[in-house]
């Protein structure tokens, strides 16, 4: 009898829990779990959409094709170049800004808010603005550079030779404020006591920074770098709007490479619908990004041992 | 010694100023450019418009249909914000405080899927699923697609609820509160700060979203939001002659979010670190 009551209570409590969880759980299952399984399934199929008939099982063909696809590996290389350059510029700039702007000084809170502004804006809309700014003949950047005599010929910012640089500039613009805020949070966790005692021991500001601030920032720097790596590998909005991966794939990144088998990159561009192959590309993308993250975590652990 | 310090301070100040100019330049270009004529923009002109042309906005709102897209943007972003906040607060509370069958499995699924980066490809199965439910034609479908699984926000709320002393719940239960009572009367008032963050960030990401909305609006142009509509001006037939309209459109898209930011920039900046560094 008692058991019966306990059982009823147990069922009721579980039902209550699930009633609270359900709205999110449904969203999670439909929009997060289901697409992953869909993608993993279609890695093994050839499928071109309703019009081209039923999906055909092709085993590992799609994955083999990914490894032989020279254009795909070019997009992987581009992604590494893009991510590397973005991180190389963003992180030091963000660190210096955090260091200077976290000092209790008049105006610093205001400057922090200003530097953070790009983070809240649409990267697609700003991609369009940068597209206008960097336009060869009509863009304001070239107008200024020509007007002041710094250059005599307009620079083709979005051409084959410079498109990647322009993309990185745009990405740095959008990213600095974000990482600055992370660094400021890290700096606030460093105890005043440590800094104080270093100062009492006669360390100057540069020494305090080098021997106290930077080592104590270590753990948070690790997180910041990891976040910046994962973000840089999935960046796609700006590329899509600014360069569309071009010219001639000079800025094709791996996220966009997978995308183009499913959807048009720009209005009016033709898609060769290859859902199976696109799924394979995306899966390999996720594996590469995951491997880079793991490699980085291993490497940063090694560094811990050295220090 | 004093002068050395002065020189260093000047360098720091210079560096900050350069970064401020670098940050603000594209935004100021957008806003000022939205009042210029097209030839001023493309052939070069002074910093300020020769004549403040409000017509650009009129043209954007009327000819380019931006009135409709503005309404869409507001509707979709507000709904996404509400849906995200309500569902994640309930789920975060449940994970933090309740024991139930399958909790461990579900939690590990939530955590592991935060690290699966398949990217926008997942939008294809989502789109086909929504269209099989006939939701792809309505703003509701777009809102659902924009909100998505919310795994990281659920974890964020869960972490925050865990920081609240359990004794509060227990006292309320002894006083005769049900689970729902505990949630609405005890927990909800205390997790307002983190919910503000979730709300703000989901509003921002829905307002700024490009790819999801683009895909959902390919066959349903009436679902377009400001962000998508602005970018598509790039591909319009006489794009070269409409830079001023593009910039007016871009201003319409960024000014509301800038206003939201200046009203609650503490939550924006604080929320970012709550999500990233502690999570």
Buried b (16+ CB within 10 A) or exposed e, A197-233: ebeeeebeeeebeeebbeebbeebbbbbebebbbbbb
What CATH number did the domain enclosing A128 receive?
Answer: 1.10.3720.10
User: CB distance from B118 to chain A under 8 Å?
Assistant: yes
In chain A, which residues have their Cβ closer than 8 Å to the Cβ of B276?
182, 223, 227
Q: Taking CA atoms, what residue in A is nearest to B247?
A: A129
How far CA A10 is from CA of A13, A18, B103, B180, in Å, comes to: 5, 12, 14, 17
Cβ-Cβ contacts under 8 Å, B277 against chain A: 182, 185-186, 220, 223
**Cα of A28 to nearest chain B Cα, Å:** 4
Give the one of A39, A125, A132 whose C-beta lies nearest to B254's C-beta: A125
Q: Is A143 on the interface with B (CB under 8 A)?
A: yes
- A120 and B16 in contact by Cβ < 8 A? no
Q: Do A258 and B12 touch (CB under 8 A)?
A: no
| Structure confidence by residue, pLDDT tens digits, A149-196 | 888 888 899 988 899 999 999 999 999 999 998 898 888 877 778 778
The shortest C-alpha distance from B49 to chain A (Å) reads 14
> Which residues 247-266 of chain A have a CB within 8 Å of chain B?
255, 258-259, 262-264, 266
- pLDDT for position A52: 74
Which structure tokens are listed for B85? Answer: 């906040």
Tens digit of each residue's pLDDT (9 = 90 or more) over B115-173: 877 888 899 999 999 999 988 889 999 999 999 989 989 998 998 899 889 999 889 98
Is the pLDDT confidence value at B31 over 50?
yes
Please list the helix, strand and coil fractions of chain A in percent, rounded to the nearest 5, in that order: 75, 0, 25
Q: Is the peptide bond before A43 cis (omega within 30 degrees of 0)?
A: no
pLDDT tens digits, one per residue of B222-257: 999 999 999 988 888 777 778 888 999 999 999 999
Q: Give pLDDT tens digits for B186-201.
A: 999 999 888 988 998 8
Distance from CA of B119 to the nearest CA of A (A): 7
Number of structural domains (chain A) is: 1
A295 domain-assigned: yes
Residue A56: pLDDT above 60? yes
Q: What is the mean pLDDT of chain A?
A: 88
Q: Which residue of A has its CA nearest to B115?
A: A290
- Alpha-carbon distance values, B125 to A8, A33, B141, B215 (Å): 40, 11, 13, 12
Global pTM? 0.89
CATH of B65-276, one of 1.10.3720.10, 3.30.300.20, 1.10.10.10, 2.30.30.90: 1.10.3720.10
Domain ranges of chain B: 65-276
Overall residue count recorded for chain B in this entry: 279
State the Cα–Cα distance between residues A30 and B52, nearest whole angstrom: 49
Interface check B101 vs A, CB under 8 A: yes
Nearest Cβ partner of B98 from A17, A240, A282? A17
- Considering only CB atoms, B151 lies closest to which of A28, A114, A128, namely A28
What average pLDDT does this structure show over A77-99? 95
> What residues of A are in contact with residue B253 (Cβ under 8 Å)?
122, 125
Query: Pairing state of beta strands A56-57 and A45-46?
Result: antiparallel
Whether the complex's predicted ipTM is more than 0.85 is answered with yes
- What region does B134 belong to: left with phi over 0, alpha with psi -120 to 50, or beta? left
Q: How far apart are CA A120 and CA B268, in angstroms?
A: 9
**Distances B121 to A42, A162, A194, A272, B130 between C-alpha atoms, Å:** 11, 29, 49, 15, 15
Residue of B nearest to A175 (CA): B23
pLDDT of residue A185: 85
The range of the structural domain enclosing residue A119 comes to 75-191+218-306
């Amino acid at each position: 009898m008692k058991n019966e009551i306990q059982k009823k209570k147990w069922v009721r409590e579980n039902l209550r829990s699930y009633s609270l969880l359900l709205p999110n759980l449904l969203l999670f299952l439909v929009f997060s779990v289901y697409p992953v399984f869909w993608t993993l399934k279609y890695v093994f199929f050839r499928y071109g959409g309703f019009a081209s008939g039923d999906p055909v099982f092709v085993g590992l063909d799609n994955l083999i094709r990914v490894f032989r696809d020279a254009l795909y590996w070019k997009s992987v290389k581009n992604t590494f170049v893009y991510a590397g350059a973005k991180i190389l510029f963003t992180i030091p700039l963000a660190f210096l800004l955090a260091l200077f702007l976290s000092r209790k000084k008049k105006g610093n809170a205001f400057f922090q808010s200003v530097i953070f502004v790009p983070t809240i804006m649409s990267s697609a809309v700003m991609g369009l603005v940068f597209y206008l700014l960097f336009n060869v003949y009509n863009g304001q950047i070239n107008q200024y550079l020509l007007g002041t005599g710094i250059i005599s010929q307009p620079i083709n910012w979005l051409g084959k030779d410079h498109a990647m640089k322009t993309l990185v500039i745009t990405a740095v613009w959008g990213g600095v404020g974000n990482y600055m805020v992370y660094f400021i949070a890290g700096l606030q966790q460093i105890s005043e006591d440590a800094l104080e005692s270093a100062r009492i021991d006669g360390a100057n500001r540069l020494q305090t920074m080098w021997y106290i601030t930077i080592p104590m920032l270590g753990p948070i720097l690790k997180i910041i770098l990891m976040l910046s790596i994962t973000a840089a590998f999935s960046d796609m909005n700006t590329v899509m709007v600014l360069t569309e991966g071009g010219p001639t794939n000079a800025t094709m990144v791996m996220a966009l490479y997978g995308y183009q088998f499913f959807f048009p990159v720009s209005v009016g561009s033709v898609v060769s619908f290859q859902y199976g192959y696109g799924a394979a590309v995306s899966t390999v993308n996720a594996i590469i990004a995951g491997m880079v993250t793991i490699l980085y975590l291993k490497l940063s652990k090694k560094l811990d041992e050295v220090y | 010694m004093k002068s050395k310090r002065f020189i260093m301070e000047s360098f720091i100040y210079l560096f900050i100023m350069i970064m401020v100019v670098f940050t603000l330049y594209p935004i100021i270009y957008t806003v000022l450019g939205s009042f210029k004529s097209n030839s001023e923009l493309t052939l070069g002109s002074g910093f300020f418009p020769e004549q403040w042309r409000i017509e650009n906005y009129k043209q954007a709102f009327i000819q380019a249909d931006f009135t409709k897209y503005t309404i869409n943007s507001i509707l979709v972003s507000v709904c996404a914000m509400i849906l995200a906040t309500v569902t994640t607060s309930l789920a975060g509370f449940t994970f933090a405080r309740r024991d139930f069958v399958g909790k461990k499995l579900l939690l590990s699924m939530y955590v592991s899927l935060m690290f699966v980066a398949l990217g926008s490809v997942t939008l294809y199965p989502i789109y086909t699923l929504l269209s099989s439910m006939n939701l792809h034609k309505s703003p509701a479908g777009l809102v659902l697609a924009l909100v998505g699984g919310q795994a990281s926000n659920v974890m964020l709320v869960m972490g925050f609820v865990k920081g609240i002393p359990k004794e509060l719940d227990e006292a309320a239960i002894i006083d005769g509160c049900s689970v729902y009572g505990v949630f609405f009367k005890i927990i909800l008032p205390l997790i307002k700060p983190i919910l503000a963050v979730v709300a703000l960030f989901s509003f921002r990401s829905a307002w700024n979203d490009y790819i999801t909305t683009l895909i959902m609006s390919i066959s349903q142009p009436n679902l377009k939001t400001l962000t998508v509509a602005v970018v598509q001006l790039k591909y319009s037939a006489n794009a070269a002659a409409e830079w001023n309209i593009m910039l007016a459109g871009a201003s319409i898209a960024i000014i509301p979010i800038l206003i939201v930011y200046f009203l609650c920039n503490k939550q924006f900046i604080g929320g970012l670190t709550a999500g990233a560094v502690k999570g």
